[in-house]
Each structure stands twice: as structure tokens, then as C-alpha cells.
Amino acid sequence: MLNKRRLGNSDLQVSPIGLGCWQFSKGGGFIGKYWQGLSAETEREIVSASLSAGVNWFDTAEAYGLGKSEQALSAALTSLGVKPGEVVIATKWLPIGRFSRSIGRTIDRRLECLAPYPIDLYQIHFPASFSPVPSQLRAMAALAKAGKIRHVGVSNFSASQMRLAHRVLAEEGIALVSNQILYSLLKRSAETNGVMETAKELGITLIAYSPLAQGVLTGRFHENPASFARLSGMRAMNMRSERSRLERTRPLIEALRRIARERQVTPAEVALNWTLTFHGETVVAIPGASKTAQAEHNARAMSFALTHDELAQIDELSREVVGLRAAGAGSAR
């Protein structure tokens, strides 16, 4: 069983797997339309299954349904009798079309949507505000100093932006805890663009979103390519590239299946475990779940540890898919 990890240089102890709550958006807002809406009962069951399996933190965002995901998460936790402080809550400020002053002006709404749960980690969702990054980080630091939030993180920041954010926050006496990025066996640019290296150097945790490549690493699209036809809207458009390289990714999927059979787990659990362990404790992951079984399987990725040889084999096949140079001896940990 993988132990809880310290999130960056904070006092937050989180399970290596958290629950991403984008799918709780109720179809609200532009980004929320990416997923079909779930019932409140289904959301409650997913949160309950995650908690029962050892997950202790949840990641949501203002952009996910314009507050509907935050409200759904709070409602599920409340109905399950979870008390404030018993779980870690992360959410994000939506910067698109806004100035940094919006951070302070909208925080009460974020707290209202999540009530009675506090914001343990508040993140800048994208580096896309009308205000420069330093102004945004100083506004976040002000919230931390005022006790509105506990810790500050960013999302989708480059290596240079991470360094800038780290420096600006340090000047305010605040630590940059995390950077939430797209990372999986099929998306490994963090290893070549300096993000992974910077995170390790500065003690910043990387939070991997879409760690299963939106289902591709489960193997279900390889078993039944017709499943792509059932996707709609933005998700169908976003998955075109994965559909086009289905045969190229097949050797990796077959290796995940073989290791999964030997361990009596699923290919998705193997893929998640690789993500959690290949770089030591630098990376945690927030897979989503639209069904209870998915939440249970995601959490089970914390119940075993892949061997050095298994990590290396998966790494090699993944590198062939994404075009990374061959690794040296041992893993990148």
C-alpha cells in the first residue's frame, strides 16, 4: 500500500490518488459540457467509494460547471457525514477574461459553494489572466495570509512560470505547493520541457490530471474501437489523436494487460501505479470517475508497487509511443 504523501512543502498529507471532480459539473458552463451530467446519488456513491478505498482528497474548480462541481462535492461529503478537516479540498480560480483582483473578489463565492469545507489548496487554473503572473500570485498570497485559503498552487504552468511563481510567493512568505498538469504514459512532455525537473528541484508536487488519457490506458478503446463513436462534443474532438494512433499504442496496452493479469488488477491500475511511482513521490494523480467501480479501481492503484523491471518495461514502451529518447539505467526517480 502506498503511503500518504506531503503535498509540496505544505502540511497537507494526501493519498497518492485523489478524485478529480470535473465530471460533477452537471453540464454547466462551457467546460462543464465536456461530460454528461451525473445524478446526485451517483456523485454521492462515487465519493463514498473513494473514501472507503483510502482516498482523502478531492480536486474541483470554479470552471467545472461554474461552481456546480464544488456544490456537488460539498453535498456528497455532507450527506456522508464527513466533517470539515477530515478531507483535503482543492479548487481553482478561473482566470480567463479576468484580472488578478478577481481572485479576492470571488473567493467568498468559492467558499460558499464548498461550505462547510475549507479550501486547503487554491490553484490558478491557467496562466491566462489579463494580469501578469506575479499579480495573480500576490493576490493568492493575500488570501492565504487572511486565512481564506490554506495553501497556493498553480495549474498548467510551464517550468519558467513555476520558477516565477515560486519566487514571488517566497517573497510573500508563502510556498508554491503544486502544479497541476496533463501527465500520463501517453502525455510526457513534463519530462522534456523542464516541468518535472523544476518540480523535483523546488519540492513542488505535480498533480497529474487525465492520468488515464481519458480512458485510453484502460484498454477499452483497443478492445472495441467502435467506442470512439459513442463520444460526443468536445470529448470526441479531443480524442481524435488517440483514435488515429490506436495501433501505435497497442504494444503498451498489451504490456499493461499482461502485468495486470499477473497481479490480478486492471490495466488502468497498472498505468496509474506507474504514474504514482516512476518519479518517486513527485507525482500524485486525480483520475475522475463517472461510476462507482471506476472510483474503486482508481484507488486500488495505491495497493501495490510495481517492480523496477515492470516500471522500466512500461517506460520503454511509453517512450516509443510519445517519442522520448531512451532512458538511461534505472527509472527517472
Cβ neighbors of 186 (< 8 A, separation 6 or more) are 213, 216, 217, 242, 249, 318, 321, 322
Residue with the larger pLDDT of the pair 97 and 29: 97
DSSP string, 117-169: S-EEEEEE--S--SS-HHHHHHHHHHHHHTTSEEEEEEES--HHHHHHHHHHH
**pTM metric for this prediction:** 0.92
**Distance from the first to the final alpha carbon of the chain:** 19
The residue assigned the cell 456546480 is: 68
| C-alpha of 184 from chain center | 10
Banded pLDDT at 246 (limits 50, 70, 90): confident
Query: Would you list the domain boundaries of the chain?
Result: 5-215+266-306
pLDDT(324) > 80: yes
What gap in Å lies between CA 275 and CA 209, rounded to an integer?
Answer: 11
Pairing of strands 149-155, 176-182: parallel
CATH of domain 5-215+266-306: 3.20.20.100
Q: What is the pLDDT of residue 313?
A: 97
If you average pLDDT over residues 265-276, what whole number do you get? 97
Q: What is the pLDDT of residue 329?
A: 35
pLDDT(88) > 70: yes
If you average pLDDT over residues 147-164, what whole number do you get? 98
C-alpha R_g of the chain: 19
Pairing of strands 5-6, 57-59: unpaired
In this predicted model, what pLDDT tens digit does every residue of 213-244 receive, in sequence order?
987 898 766 665 555 555 555 555 555 556 55
Point out the residues that are catalytic.
64
If you average pLDDT over residues 301-325, what whole number do you get? 95
Banded pLDDT at 14 (limits 50, 70, 90): very high
Are the beta carbons of 269 and 187 closer than 8 angstroms?
no
What gap in Å lies between CA 306 and CA 263, rounded to an integer?
Answer: 9
Residue with the larger pLDDT of the pair 129 and 26: 129
Q: Which amino acid is at 280?
A: G
